[in-house]
Structure 1
Amino acid sequence: MNNFLKNAIKRIQILIESVAASVAVAKLRNGKFKNIEKIDMRAWYLLIIAAFIEFVSVYFNRFHPRHSRQ
């Protein structure tokens, strides 16, 4: 498996772990899942911009000379 794929898998694992930890903490604090629909997402576009920047940084990082040496 190449480094790009390993890094992508690692980042996805980190994302899943952070979401799972957030849900666990919310349940420990007696939160309810149906309260999710009451979330007001102001500046939702920042989430899309952040995901795009993350994708671009991972994608172009594989072309860096430091990573191309075998």
Structure 2
Amino acid sequence: MAIQITSVRLSGGTTHQHITRLWWTNPETTKSGDNTRAELVTWIQKRARRTRATRAGTGRRSPW
């Protein structure tokens, strides 16, 4: 599942380090929502671990 970031909230500055909240949509399901930066980082990390584990079992080379 890929999501598209549609909007961000910044706090205390204007660069990527200042992102505090992100709004997103999933074009495959039309679901949308918002999460903190920490929540989305955790979501991405969990998906990456699951993808690596799946690829390790199939003999396919992982991009990580």
TM-score (norm 1): 0.36
Higher strand residue share = 2
TM-score (norm 2): 0.39
In our comparison, the structure showing a higher alpha carbon Rg is 1
Larger RCO: Structure 1 or Structure 2 (Cα < 8 Å, ≥ 6 residues apart)? 1
Higher helix residue share = 1
